[in-house]
Structure 1
Amino acid sequence: MGSTDGGAFRRMLKRLTSDVEVLDADDLTEDSERSGAQRASECACGQEVTMLGRLRSVEFCPQDADASLEAELFDGTEGVTLIWMGRRRIPGIVPGRTMRVRGRLSIRDGRKVLYNPYYEICQGT
């Protein structure tokens, strides 16, 4: 058995014995790398970033005049909060959707955040 056959066998064995969430995170990370997007875990505050991931949650936050739509994007390495100020909803922004986002990374309450990011909804999701 050649070295490539051993690698394929190890990947298959990992898929059979790993948790579904771990496999999903691995798939998201691979998709992100193939698309040329940056890993959330490697991005720093103030950096202009492009990320690819899946929305885990979407919620409207009606905080007086500062109402916003907030979503958590997970790219397989880390979650990033997306915040659209002054929006109640955006068609197509729903949990489970795969998206590519771009913007300047900020930190709020110890979490990575993109305010009013440019976004593309990926097809097939």
Structure 2
Amino acid sequence: MSNTGGYWRRLVRRLTSDVAELDADDLSERSEAGGARHACDCRGGEEAVVLGRLRSVGRSPKASAPTLEAELYDGTDEVVLVWLGRRQITGIEPGRVIKARGRIAVRDGRKVLYNPYYELQNTA
């Protein structure tokens, strides 16, 4: 009978929560299931694996050399992925879910992974 109560609680939450909150919950669960750390738990200088959806992708306006930047959001926080010497990478586009690995740096108060290893994930 406790399963039934849990079902109704989840159903009511889905019906009363806004879409952004539900998306964040789904991303957070997917990140955890994929063996990644939550971005909110990552600290500068640590090796980390993060999994999330790319919110934006573009060239850095500040860099003198070609630099591609993507904002990854995992439902808890964001991490900026930076590929130095690149203008474009096939598959790195807004809305795409990826798993990235590297050492966390902090730039202007934001978490950053420079030249991360990455895997494109299925959207399902």
One-letter code of the match for 1:29?
S
| Superposed displacement of residue 119, structure 1 | 0.4
| Superposed displacement of residue 66, structure 1 | 2.7
- TM-score (norm: length of structure 2): 0.95
Q: Percent identity?
A: 56
Q: CA RMSD in A?
A: 1.2
Q: Give the paired residue count.
A: 124
Aligned to 1:15: 14
- TM-score (norm: length of structure 1): 0.94
| 1:111 maps to 2:110 | yes
Where does structure 1 lack aligned partners over 5 or more consecutive residues?
none
| 1:53 maps to 2:49 | no
SS in 1 for 2:43: coil
SS in 1 for 2:36: coil
Where does structure 2 lack aligned partners over 5 or more consecutive residues?
none
SS in 2 for 1:119: strand
| Superposed displacement of residue 37, structure 1 | 0.6
**Which consecutive segments of 4 or more residues in structure 1 shift more than 3 A?**
62-65
One-letter code of the match for 1:122?
Q
Give per-residue Cα distances to partners, 1:13-32, cap 9 Å, x unaligned.
Answer: 10011010000000000111
Q: Distance in 2 between the 1:18 and 1:71 partners? A: 28
